[in-house]
Copies of this chain bind each other. A is one copy, B any other.
Amino acid sequence: MVLGALPAAAGGDAAAGRKRAAACQACHGLDGLSKLPEAPNLAGQVEVYLVKVLREYRDGTRRNEVMNVVAKELTDADIDNLAAYYGGLQIEVLPPG
């Protein structure tokens, strides 16, 4: 199958992303765990996936009322940094209990 084009590996600054995440935390948490049923968890998400999706929200090719507004305010560096921050949070899948 043909996969869509991915952004190059981001190399964002996670510490800067953590600060920028003030704009994200009400819905996605500073810990990357969703605070709202509408909002996905972001903790440990694939970094280049986060970059791709944020760019799509910014340019409108991915549509969501909230995210299209929020992402419009993000620079390329903001996006790379946010992806580095949320993608860099380490998660563990627990064994079924």
Contacts and interface: CB of A to CB of B under 8 A. Distances in A.
B91 A91 contact: yes
Contact of A38 (B39, B49, B62): B49
Interface string A67-92: 00100000000000000000001111
- The number of times this chain is found in the oligomer is 2
A3 B33 contact: yes
Given A61-B63, A62-B62, A63-B61, A38 B92 contact: no
A1 B65 contact: yes
Given A6-B38, A40-B49, 7 more contacts: A2-B33, A3-B33, A3-B66, A37-B49, A38-B49, A41-B44, A41-B91
